[in-house]
Amino acid sequence: MNLYFLGTGAGLPAKHRNVSSIALELLEERGSIWLFDCGEATQHRILYTNIKPAKIEKIFITHLHGDHIYGLPGLLGTRSFHGAESPLVIYGPPGIKAFVEQTLKLSFTHLKYPLITKEIFDDETVFEDDQFIVKVKKLEHGIPSFGYRIIEKDLPGTLLADRLKEIGVKPGPIYKKLKNGETVQIADGRVLNGKDFLGPVKKGRIVSILGDTRYCKQSVGLSKDADVLVHEATFAKDEELLAYNYFHSTTVQAAQIALEANAKTLWLTHISSRYQGEEDCQMLLAEARAVFPEANLAHDFLCVPIPKK
């Protein structure tokens, strides 16, 4: 599992930061990629990575401001040109379905794969299977903006193969059944419960990716005990009033959310283009770390591994 920052700027593209997009690589877990927001030129950013559009399984849109969605129609078309046939699901606020359908229709873009668009609402589970749960909450922004909480379900413990060999159970199909926690009877009549031969359960990871927002308690709830929290930090701490008026957050406010939520690490993104150069970056980072020492400042093309627990 890796987080790949494709665009970390705010509002408009800049030479050093493109507009918002983050890829969550789940190649080991499910052989696919989930994309969070798709600002203008996202597919151009993808060209400089190992991300294949055909591998994108889901796209989660936080809100409908242009710097988060203007790259979507082009990417959808490119995925088709690349020969993708697997379904793609887009999640987003009310209006995302009309935006996608109208842009594809007016540009005469015909997709070769099934496209499903699901509009999301406050405080709901938008996706769940045997591996992951994705929950959303509405944040505080000028238009409906959402945060996503991605929860990996706990994984079963490692099969204690050495212990099985000690009691005379040789490797074979029975190991798979025991690994699944099943109860099986072996050739000599003994009945073995798979749960007795498994190590401790491996706790799943939690990743919280929040859309544009003011400081709000909903952000804390979405980020509770997250292994990784991605939070916007459009402004420096001395621009708190400006951040409030524009429905955004400062570095310190993002750090405070991480602190209150007991997150493990914080990645700051959606940085205003007024902050340029290494000196500005170090200033923003220092402000956040003064509140939350595990804060980090994201930049375009940064890949962040999220190791298993």
Active-site annotation holds for 67: yes
Alpha helices in the chain (DSSP H): 27-30, 42-46, 66-69, 72-81, 96-106, 161-166, 173-179, 217-222, 240-245, 251-261, 277-289
Q: Does residue 110 have a known ligand-binding role?
A: no
What is the token pair recorded at 237? Answer: 């701490």
**Could you give the 3-state DSSP secondary structure of residue 153?**
coil
Distance CA 255, CA 271 (A): 14
Catalytic residue among 37, 67, 227, 300: 67
Is residue 212 a known part of a binding site?
yes
CB 288 within 8 A of CB 255: yes
Whether 44 has a binding-site annotation, put simply, is no
Q: Do residues 105 and 79 lie in contact, with contact meaning Cβ atoms separated by under 8 Å? A: no
CA separation for the pair 70, 118 (Å, rounded): 18
d(CA 281, CA 11): 18
Establish whether 248 is an annotated binding residue. no
The helix (H) or strand (E) run that includes residue 150 is: strand 146-152
Query: Rounded distance, CA 261 to CA 292, Å?
Result: 11
- Separation between Cα atoms, residue 210 and residue 191, nearest integer Å: 49
238 assigned to a ligand binding site? no
- Report how far residue 260's alpha carbon sits from residue 272's, in angstroms, rounded to the nearest whole number: 24
Q: Which tokens belong to 143?
A: 């238009």
Dihedral sign of CA atoms 44, 34, 225, 221 in order: positive
Question: Annotated binding site for Zn(2+), which residues?
Answer: 63, 65, 67-68, 141, 212, 270
Residues labelled catalytic:
67
Question: Annotated binding site, which residues?
Answer: 63, 65, 67-68, 141, 212, 270
